[in-house]
């Protein structure tokens, strides 16, 4: 990625219906005249433990809500504002940036549909989580994750559904969602745009086999799980390319489509890259997608192909983000492989880990 504050243009790639777009296509980050610093690993001892969104304690839910509210209350042009955070996704995914400026000034960056998918989103959420924690002065703050791989976690988490809480706007609510899906329906991890109308029990079984498919059957080795190589000089990869990684092409995209509102011109919000970040559920969905990477790696005990890429083109690919101190930092794929160093992890309920392991389709 280039210096994102100097090389940036309006987003257009992948937005079918630009004139009717309900969110702005001006996705460039605020440029505060900062120079890009190298990333430094967090020094704190505490590990932020991400929690399953359907099973949060009252305290966890309230803190999370307060943090998102604080983000929404920031002035729009603050790099930590709700909209600035949403625009990160738009800029990296809908042609806001071109590649390493001196060499490929005419080729857009698209971090999807390739092996940049997992590391880019890991870094994106890493900073998002730390920014939220800072906004409420809680160095232990951790994001929830939408645990759609466990039966009880399959509906959109309840805290996202109500438009108002005690008469005030619910900061986790988003009006641009498929209204028929958010009320008490189980997500369809294999959603292709058509509702299946099957009993919940059948949907649960289908979802568990989809997770098995994405993590085991279709994700047997590095490239099939992460996605194909995409290096400087390559044009953006299309989403129907066979090299798209198993989780990205499968459960990940299905959830985006399932949540987005099909009556909006571009499936806003979750149904298009440029608008997805405006729905708070985007970040908890990706928190679970990030967890899939962790689980896949743990499955490496049984499946020897489960290892991260080791090619220098992958290790040294980089992105630029505003960190929790409003500094611009450049981060590399190679520095996000070890969760221990990033000081966060996921609370797992030992009884329920991998309920889909027995769900070989
Ligand atoms: Cu960057 Cu779920 O998309």
Å from CA of 45 to ligand 1 middle: 30
Residue 215 forms part of a structural domain: yes
Ligand 1 atom with the smallest distance to the CA of 89 is: 1
Ligand 1 atom with the smallest distance to the CA of 121 is: 1
Look at residues 237, 273, 4 and name the one whose alpha carbon lies nearest to residue 115: 237
Look at residues 64, 85, 65, 63 and name the one whose alpha carbon lies nearest to residue 74: 85
CB 317 within 8 A of CB 119: yes
Tell me the helices (H) and strands (E) count for the chain, helix number first.
12, 8
Q: What is the mean pLDDT of the chain?
A: 94
Least confident of 64-73, 93-102, 110-119, 298-307: 93-102
> What predicted TM-score, i.e. pTM, was given to this entire model?
0.96
* Alpha carbons 22 and 266: distance in angstroms, whole number: 8
Q: How far is CA 236 from CA 93, 107, 125, 178, in A?
A: 9, 8, 22, 29
Give the mean pLDDT of 137-161: 97
Which residues form the domain of 169? 37-358
Confidence check: pLDDT of 361 > 80? no
* Alpha carbons 119 and 314: distance in angstroms, whole number: 9
* Alpha carbons 325 and 312: distance in angstroms, whole number: 29
Q: What is the pLDDT of residue 102?
A: 63
Residue 7 forms part of a structural domain: no
Decide: 257 in ligand 1 pocket, CB within 6 A: no
Q: What is the pLDDT of residue 24?
A: 92
Give the mean pLDDT of 83-89: 97
Tell me whether residue 160 is one of the annotated catalytic residues.
no
> What CATH number is attached to the domain comprising 304?
1.10.1280.10
Residue 16 forms part of a structural domain: no
Percent of the chain surpassing pLDDT 70:
97
Give the mean pLDDT of 328-351: 94
Number of domains in the chain: 1
Least confident of 62-66, 141-145, 199-203, 231-235: 231-235
Catalytic residue among 273, 282, 321, 354: 273
Higher local confidence (pLDDT), 232 or 62:
62
Residue 14 forms part of a structural domain: no
Decide: 50 in ligand 1 pocket, CB within 6 A: no
* Alpha carbons 26 and 90: distance in angstroms, whole number: 9
- E strand or H helix that includes residue 254: helix 253-259
Catalytic residue among 80, 256, 285, 306: 256
* Count, residues in the chain: 361
Tell me whether residue 80 is one of the annotated catalytic residues.
no
* Alpha carbons 307 and 122: distance in angstroms, whole number: 16
Percent of the chain surpassing pLDDT 90:
81
Residue 12 forms part of a structural domain: no
Q: Which residue has the CA at smallest separation from atom 3 of ligand 1?
A: 273
Decide: 181 in ligand 1 pocket, CB within 6 A: no
Q: What is the pLDDT of residue 184?
A: 76
Show contacts of 100-103: CB within 8 Å, 24+ apart: 100/1, 100/2, 100/232, 101/2, 101/3, 101/7, 103/232, 103/233
Confidence check: pLDDT of 353 > 80? no
* Alpha carbons 81 and 132: distance in angstroms, whole number: 10
Residue 20 forms part of a structural domain: no
Tell me whether residue 285 is one of the annotated catalytic residues.
no
Ligand 1 atom with the smallest distance to the CA of 120 is: 1
Tell me whether residue 181 is one of the annotated catalytic residues.
no
Residue 88 forms part of a structural domain: yes
Residue 18 forms part of a structural domain: no
Q: What is the pLDDT of residue 210?
A: 97
Tell me whether residue 121 is one of the annotated catalytic residues.
yes
Q: What is the pLDDT of residue 356?
A: 76
């Amino acid at each position: 990625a280039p210096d994102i504050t100097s090389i940036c243009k309006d987003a257009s790639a992948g937005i079918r219906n630009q004139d009717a777009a309900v969110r702005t296509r001006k996705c460039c980050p605020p440029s505060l005249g900062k120079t890009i610093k190298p990333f430094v690993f967090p020094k704190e001892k505490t590990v932020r433990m991400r929690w399953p969104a359907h099973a949060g304690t009252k305290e966890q839910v309230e803190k999370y809500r307060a943090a998102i509210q604080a983000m929404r209350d920031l002035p729009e042009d603050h790099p930590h504002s709700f909209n600035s955070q949403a625009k990160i996704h738009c800029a990296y995914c809908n042609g806001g940036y071109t590649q390493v400026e001196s060499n490929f000034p005419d080729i857009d960056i698209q971090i999807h549909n390739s092996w940049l998918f997992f590391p880019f989103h890991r870094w994106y959420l890493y900073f998002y989580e730390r920014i939220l924690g800072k906004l409420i002065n809680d160095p232990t703050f951790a994001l929830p994750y939408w645990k759609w791989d466990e039966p009880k976690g399959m509906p959109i988490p309840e805290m996202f559904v109500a438009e108002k809480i005690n008469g005030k706007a619910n900061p986790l609510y988003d009006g641009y969602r498929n209204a028929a899906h958010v009320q008490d329906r189980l997500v369809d991890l294999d959603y292709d745009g058509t509702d299946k109308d099957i009993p919940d029990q059948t949907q649960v079984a289908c979802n568990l086999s989809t997770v098995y498919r994405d993590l085991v059957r279709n994700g047997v080795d590095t490239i099939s799980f992460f996605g194909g190589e995409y290096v400087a000089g390559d044009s953006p990869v299309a989403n129907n390319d066979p090299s798209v990684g198993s989780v990205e092409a499968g459960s990940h995209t299905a959830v985006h489509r399932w949540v987005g509102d099909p009556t909006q011109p571009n499936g806003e919000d979750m149904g298009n890259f440029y608008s997805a970040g405006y729905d708070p559920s985007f970040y908890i969905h990706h928190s679970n997608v990030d967890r899939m990477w962790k689980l896949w790696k743990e499955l490496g005990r049984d499946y020897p192909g489960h290892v991260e890429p080791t090619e220098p083109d992958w290790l040294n690919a980089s992105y630029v983000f505003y960190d929790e101190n409003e500094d611009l930092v450049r981060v590399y794929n190679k520095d996000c492989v070890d969760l221990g160093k990033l000081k966060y992890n996921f609370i797992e309920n030992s009884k329920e880990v991998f309920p889909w392991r027995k769900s070989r389709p």
